[in-house]
Amino acid sequence: MSDIQFTPSRDTAKLLHMLLDIFEQRNSTPRRAVTVKLQAGESNLPGYYSQVDPVPRITTNEQLMKLEKLGAVELTWGPGQEGHLLAAVTLKSIGVSRLYTLLDRQPLNFHRMKLRGLLLGNRFRVHDWRALALDHILRQLEDHKSPAPFILGDDDWNQDLLDALLALPQNVAEELPYRVFSVRVFNDSKRFETLKRAVARMAKRHHMEWRDLNSHEILRELGLVPNPSHLHMYGPWRLVDGEGQIMRLGQFTPSVGIPATLVAHIARVEVEASRVICVENLTTFYELVQHEEGHFAALCLWGNPSPACRHLLRILIQTLPENVPLQLWADMDYGGFNILLQLRQTVSRRFVPYRMDTTTLETFSHWGQPITPADRRNLERLQDHPLLSDVTSTIAAVLRNEVKLEQEAIQLNI
């Protein structure tokens, strides 16, 4: 640019970027003046307010006065500080293009169009929740709204996030560790670590069945895990894989961990027990194994049941006699009742609650925790679900007493 013969100093560049940030936040059509007000001691302009070195302030003042002469900005000085300390800098409409050129910065619309082209060029490659996610981002761009978790101007991040979405396993049969997935997609074992929350955020927003899951659980639904996991099992389980190999687990004490990868290949499950108890937490699973009486089998769910866990239970249902109870022992809170709902929706309606009744709640309520407003809203929503009619009174007791109860608070040996 021939009429501007200087390279912006650090503080000058910061002030000009701040002006363009405000300009772009207002969709590049500001209805009022775009102004940055300065205050002594501002942390983002340490040079300008230095008490030791006046050069940064003098340089910034001189450069901004040159821009003012060109009509790019308008300067407001502090009272009695003409030419010494600025009070405000205002962007003039005719100066917008000059500032973009001076700062070697592309307009926000340029970045919107670039991201839009990237997404449109790959939209045809997905047809599940990812298609809904990309359509949402495209609408956001059209409406000049935030495309988060994509970032305007960060081309590397946008490309990597899109690549991660496109590379997600289509049919989740086995678990894939984050680092293995990351190497396969980016040839970098750590790159996905920075992207995983963004992927989970998009999945949570656009996959209806995952709205109540946390990031770790959502990634697990996608087949992605920090490390290969195991299912902890107790009792007389008999597993048969696709090749007819039989695994008898009854002799393992107090339990045995079966790799989730192995579970994916199980073709038949049999249990010779009077009941099967699924337990939400590992600590309580071991308490159950140690103190519960009777000839039973147990399975630890590790919170919301994973794809491998659901696969195992679906196969079990095929051979489990109708007179053998299939029980769930979970926390008496929103998460626990929601696990019961998930199991009934995705595995079988045969699941019945165990130690999730009003009497147990009241007996151990002194070990409970107060419910939060969010707990109340979520529990009230579950109260009306037809698949939870048998625990409506328990949910009502939690709401009435304003206390939720974790499994660990229940003593089995009394």
User: Does residue 221 sit in the same domain as residue 322?
Assistant: no
Instruction: Establish if 282 belongs to a structural domain.
Output: yes
Check residue 216 and give its pLDDT: 93
150-192 confidence digits (pLDDT tens): 998 889 999 999 999 999 987 766 889 999 999 999 999 999 9
Pair (278, 330) in one structural domain: yes
Average pLDDT of the segment spanning 205-211: 92
Here the CATH number for the domain that contains residue 342 is 3.40.1360.10
Q: What angle separates helix 55-69 from helix 10-25, to the nearest 10 degrees?
A: 50
Region class of 169: left (phi > 0), else alpha (psi between -120 and 50), else beta: beta
- The residue written with tokens 């021939």 in the block is 2
**pLDDT given for residue 258 in this prediction:** 92
Of 166, 198, 225, which one is at a domain's C-terminal end?
225
The amino acid occupying position 241 is D
Judge if 86 and 112 occupy the same domain: no
d(CA 82, CA 70): 19
Element (H, E) at 74: strand 73-77
How many whole angstroms separate alpha carbon 62 and alpha carbon 83?
9
Q: Tell me the three state secondary structure of residue 138.
A: helix
* 141 in a structural domain: yes
Please indicate, yes or no, if residue 1 is contained in any of the structural domains.
no
Does the pLDDT value for residue 130 go beyond 60?
A: yes
Task: Give the tens place of pLDDT for each residue, 38-97.
Answer: 887 666 788 898 889 999 999 999 999 999 999 999 999 999 999 899 999 999 988 888
Same domain, 207 and 245: no
pLDDT digits (tens, 9 = 90+) for 287-332: 999 999 899 999 999 989 999 999 999 999 999 999 999 999 999 9
Is residue 398 domain-shared with residue 252, that is, in the same domain?
Answer: yes
Decide the pairing of beta strands 246-248 and 403-404: unpaired
CA-closest candidate to residue 235, choices 282, 285, 306: 285
Helix axes 334-346, 373-383, angle to 10 degrees: 30
Instruction: Name the residue range of residue 75's domain.
Output: 10-102
pLDDT at 1: 44
Return the structure tokens found at 309: 């866990």
pLDDT at residue 28, rounded to an integer: 62
Q: Are residues 260 and 391 in the same domain?
A: yes
In a domain, 399, yes or no: yes
Render pLDDT for 321-380 as a digit per residue (tens, 0 to 9). Answer: 999 999 999 999 999 999 999 999 999 999 999 999 999 999 999 999 999 999 999 999
pLDDT digits (tens, 9 = 90+) for 248-283: 998 898 899 999 888 888 999 999 999 999 999 999
382 and 285 in a single domain? The answer is yes
The band of 234, judged by pLDDT with boundaries at 50, 70 and 90, is very high
Same domain? 119 vs 89: no
* Domain count within the chain: 3
- The beta-strand segments (E) located in 209-323 are 224-225, 230-234, 237-241, 246-248, 256-259, 266-271, 275-279, 296-300
Same domain, 338 and 198: no
Is 190 among the domain residues?
A: yes
Could you tell me if residue 5 is inside a domain? no
